[in-house]
Structure 1
Amino acid sequence: MRNVRVFDGVGDKTLDGADVLLEGGHVVAVSSSPFAQDQADGVLEIAGDDRVLIPGLTDAHVHLMGNANAMADFLEGPTGVLYGNTIAEAGRMLRRGFTTVRDMGGDTAPVKALIDRGEFEGPRIFPSQAMISQTSGHADFSFVYDVPEEFGGRPSRTEDIHFTRVADGVPRVLTAVREQLRQGASQIKLTLGGGAASMYDPLSTLQYTFDEIRAAVEAASDYGTYVATHVYTPAGITRAIDAGVRSIEHGHLADEATVRRIAEAGAWLSMQPFAEEDHHYPDPVRAAKNTEICQGTAQVYEWAIAHEVKTAWGTDLLLEPQAAARQSAMAARLAEYYSNVDALKILTSGNASLFELAGDRNTYRGGKLGVIAEGAWADVILTEKDPLADLSVIADPDANFAVIIKGGQVVKNTL
């Protein structure tokens, strides 16, 4: 790639007039001097003409299966349709420029395997497999009249398709964690408090006891990985951190003392810049919960910046396939809270640092993610306009992403 302005995912400025050599799926060299002309067969030379080259974008909180399908699909649709929709959305997500994602609930390990083999287009995936929940918790999708499995009932439809797993008590939690690891989870997802999308749990609820959370943390640690938890409130976040949780998902209702506690513990805050229009709930109870969550967004970001919390970015779009493309606009929305360059760091190398907590469960250890540097994975985007000057560039990938490359393979090239 010739004559590009390289934002490497780490620095504050671009390296201008650079040549970047990609080979064998990796970045081989980045040089401020032109490379010698290579006439070898099969070599593709792209004239950047002073466009900006950035690392592939990342999303730390997606639900590939969860947002590729509506609730009716989960409850009534054939299983094959669920996976077909998921694979299709994975391809669209890659063409929006997202080359690596962390999936926080859904049976995406098989989809990951197919993508990694080159059978389908899609991002690199760090799967959590099923979201693990207590009875009546955030990921309990059974009907109110269903008998819990503990009392002789059968698992819900979402458990049958490995989207959720309800487990109560330390022994069942341990089994649920180990089940997800057996199925290929990179990290474990627990739900520790109420949520807007769930039916039974007010936001204030505390879910899972300290002993249950600690058991999950120990089981994940034994596999060399970590636990991430859906939780919004100070009490829930504190319990999670005390039990050894490494990544707080959401946290929008935290107070300043709790945000400071996250920083002191060295944990991650995996936030989403929610606005009310990101999700649509037809019933007033869930709509009110969504409003309350969104109202906390700006303040928690302010405290996270002030206390230098390790902050990741994600979308958490769920059960609304028609809204999937909002992912790009939500990425650009980070500019409301950060400088453009700091936002781009979060969207690239920042999220990638969180992904690395998966340790040996990270199947992409053969290269660095989220950066443009020698030895890194060749996941790059050539932009028509400069996102460091205007982050809204990434909100319209169709118009503004001239070239998308993942693992050295050209996904899109309009030049």
Structure 2
Amino acid sequence: MNGVLHFTNARLVDLERQALGAPTSVSVRDGRIVGTGVAPAPGSEVIDLGGLTLMPGFIDCHFHVVAWSLDLWANAIAPDSLAALRAAQVMSGLLAAGFTTVRDLGGADLGLVRGVEDGLIEGPDLVICGKGLSMTGGHTDLRLRTDIRPDALGWRLGNMGVLVDGVDEVRRACRKMIKEGARFIKVMANGGVSSPNDPIDGLQYSDDEIRAMVEEAANFNTYVSAHVYSDASIRRCVRLGVKSLEHCNLIEPETAAMAAEAGCIAVPTLAAYDGLKLEGAQLGFGVAEQAKIDVVRDGGRNSLQVMRAAGLPMAFGTDLLGQLRKYGGLEFELLAQVLTPAEILGGMWSAGAKLCRMEGEIGTMATGARANLVAFDVDPFADIAALGRPEQHLRLVVKDGAIKHDRRGE
């Protein structure tokens, strides 16, 4: 139990008014919010925030905590114990930056989830998919064209995806991962940037294979998330019943409208491409991979306008691997080139909670919600990009009613 906290002089965000409210109080008991603007309960620890902005904890809906390095092969061959220790350090950094919930899109397992739940790791709650599903030659097939060795790395902790071909094996892999704690299924349905053999416009998996994934997920009352860039790949996934659309850099208006009508959520990840553009070559990306970076980076900003016009909800995601994690805060700045602060934060909290299947639990400060909170010394409606500079502006991180980082005196 985490006791009783009473925060005073807190300014809360009002997304409808797109402004901060007047200073008020927020009471927390046993890890839950019990009310705002109320008197402190007897025995409360009173914490005067002095006018800081108090918000729900951040949600990153596209991350890979096992991607210690941009060298994906090195990640995959690392001993599982080392991969777990590295992931724990990555998770600690995420919590320190204000992310109290992270949806992992390939790699993390139930052990890392339990590590947080059991108090062994100071990190965000993880919502996992197990491994991303990739066909032979697909987005997580890291073998060179001349490498004919069978896939032997798929289920290692440091690897983000497993190679699975055919409807029967797809079903088996989905069932295995859900049995082992996956909260949703991830499919590589399109070519990718960080893989050597698949063009960015290539479709991956057959319709029947993706239908099998969607059916298996639905049988467990969950959904499929798809790695997609091209308009054709997005349209096909929407038609086949996929609900979470990752990246979406090359989406067109008609497809965006289809996705919105189907109840899909998009997760743009713009910072990943800016980071790769800045440092990809120095970090070992080849000519082919760098050319693909330019294609998706140039389309990313336009995709925000297309999806906003279609009314397609957008969650917040960064997808930054290895050495590029330092660019995570850039996502706020890039989104703000098109979206308003209210749209960015509303998408993070509302669409993010829905993708994590934790609506009413996270992304809100309603009575009864989990007390996952962050306090900043800036007004996000005046400077949303400042939220991406936590080392300068983040003053308090609270997870489940426990103070994890307190930098108010710094």
Counterpart position of 2:86: 85
RMSD value over aligned CA atoms? 1.9
Counterpart position of 1:312: 315
- Out of 378, 399, 402, which is 1:409 matched to? 402
- Out of 232, 236, 239, which is 2:233 matched to? 236
Counterpart position of 1:381: 374
Which 5+ residue runs of structure 1 have no aligned equivalent? 148-152, 357-363
Do the aligned partners of 2:66 and 2:75 also contact (CA within 8 Å) in 1?
no
Do the aligned partners of 1:27 and 1:376 also contact (CA within 8 Å) in 2?
yes
Counterpart position of 1:348: 349
Counterpart position of 1:2: 8
* Structure 2 counterpart SS, 1:122: coil
* Structure 2 counterpart SS, 1:155: coil
- Out of 13, 19, 33, which is 2:19 matched to? 13
Q: Distance in 2 between matches of 1:262 and 1:131?
A: 22
Q: Distance in 2 between matches of 1:341 and 1:107?
A: 31
Q: 1:257 to 1:274 in 2, by over 3 A?
A: farther
Counterpart position of 1:323: 324
Counterpart position of 2:4: none
Q: 1:371 to 1:8 in 2, by over 3 A?
A: farther
Amino acid at match of 1:155: D
Q: CA deviation at 1:394?
A: 0.8
Identity of aligned residues (%): 28
Do the aligned partners of 1:331 and 1:347 also contact (CA within 8 Å) in 2?
no
Q: CA deviation at 1:277?
A: 3.2
Q: How does 1:390-405 map to 2 (within 5 A)?
A: 390-405=383-398
Q: 1:177 to 1:317 in 2, by over 3 A?
A: same
Q: Deviations over 1:121-162 (max 9, x none)?
A: 100111011010111011112343444xxxxx6433244446
* Structure 1 counterpart SS, 2:54: strand
Q: Distance in 2 between matches of 1:412 and 1:237?
A: 40
Counterpart position of 1:125: 126
Q: CA deviation at 1:8?
A: 6.0
TM-score, normalising length: structure 1: 0.90
Q: CA deviation at 1:292?
A: 0.1
Q: Distance in 1 between matches of 2:271 and 2:406?
A: 32
Do the aligned partners of 1:9 and 1:54 also contact (CA within 8 Å) in 2?
no
Q: How does 1:10-409 map to 2 (within 5 A)?
A: 12-31=18-37, 35-36=39-40, 38=41, 40=43, 43-67=44-68, 70-71=71-72, 73-147=74-148, 154-161=150-157, 163-274=160-271, 276-279=273-276, 280-281=280-281, 282-318=285-321, 321-356=322-357, 368-409=361-402
Q: Distance in 1 between matches of 2:14 and 2:196?
A: 43
Q: Distance in 1 between matches of 2:258 and 2:187?
A: 20
How many pairs does the alignment contain?
395
Q: CA deviation at 1:81?
A: 1.3
* Structure 1 counterpart SS, 2:101: strand
Q: 1:354 to 1:130 in 2, by over 3 A?
A: same
Q: Distance in 2 between matches of 1:23 and 1:242?
A: 45
Q: CA deviation at 1:299?
A: 1.3
Q: Deviations over 1:323-376 (max 9, x none)?
A: 2132122234321111112212122233112222xxxxxxx67x5210111011
TM-score, normalising length: structure 2: 0.91
Q: Deviations over 1:160-197 (max 9, x none)?
A: 44632111110011111111111111110000110110
Q: Distance in 2 between matches of 1:368 and 1:332?
A: 27
Q: Deviations over 1:30-81 (max 9, x none)?
A: 11xx514x552xx432101121111111111001112467435325433221
* Structure 1 counterpart SS, 2:45: coil
* Structure 2 counterpart SS, 1:156: coil
Q: 1:276 to 1:269 in 2, by over 3 A?
A: closer
Do the aligned partners of 1:167 and 1:173 also contact (CA within 8 Å) in 2?
yes
Q: CA deviation at 1:115?
A: 0.3
Amino acid at match of 2:152: S
Amino acid at match of 2:30: G
* Structure 1 counterpart SS, 2:140: coil
Amino acid at match of 2:312: V
Q: 1:86 to 1:66 in 2, by over 3 A?
A: same
Q: Distance in 2 between matches of 1:117 and 1:17?
A: 35
Do the aligned partners of 1:63 and 1:316 also contact (CA within 8 Å) in 2?
yes
